[in-house]
């Protein structure tokens, strides 16, 4: 099984939606753009939020087991995926790529 690199590519924030719909919360997300996590394919990397992991774990598992060309050529790199977490107020986009067996 291959490891996968998960890179935080973009963090968005929709203040208008937060103001209108969200109950105030003090702390929502610790992720930073450029932050990298390495997954063994089946286990959530330490420091990655559970909600984000739930959004991407099936893609990480598929890529770690050799899946390619997800969704019929969606990605330029056939062993990658771009996935966002399911936070509608602060979506985070992640680039997931399968690593060669000896890379990390």
pLDDT in tens, 14-65: 999 999 999 988 888 899 999 999 999 889 999 999 999 999 999 999 999 9
H-type alpha helices, 6-49: 15-21
Instruction: Check residue 70 and give left, alpha or beta (phi > 0: left; psi -120 to 50: alpha).
Output: beta
Q: Which of 50, 64, 66 is nearest to 104 (CA)?
A: 64
Residue 104 lies in a domain: no
pLDDT at 42: 86
pLDDT at 29: 87
Residue 76 lies in a domain: yes
pLDDT at 100: 86
Average pLDDT, the chain: 93
Q: Which of 30, 34, 40, 46 is nearest to 8 (CA)?
A: 34
Per the structure, the count of domains in the chain is 1
Flag whether pLDDT at 12 surpasses 60.
Answer: yes
Domain that holds residue 16: 4-98
């Amino acid at each position: 099984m291959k490891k996968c690199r998960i890179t935080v590519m973009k963090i968005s924030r929709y203040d208008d939606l937060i103001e209108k719909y969200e109950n105030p919360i003090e702390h929502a997300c610790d992720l930073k753009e450029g932050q990298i996590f390495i997954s063994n394919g089946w286990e959530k990397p330490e420091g990655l939020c559970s909600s984000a992991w739930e959004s991407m774990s099936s893609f990480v598992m598929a890529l770690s087991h050799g899946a390619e060309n997800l969704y019929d050529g969606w990605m330029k790199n056939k062993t990658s995926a771009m996935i966002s977490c399911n936070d509608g107020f602060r979506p985070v986009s992640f680039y997931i790529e399968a690593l060669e067996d000896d890379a990390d």
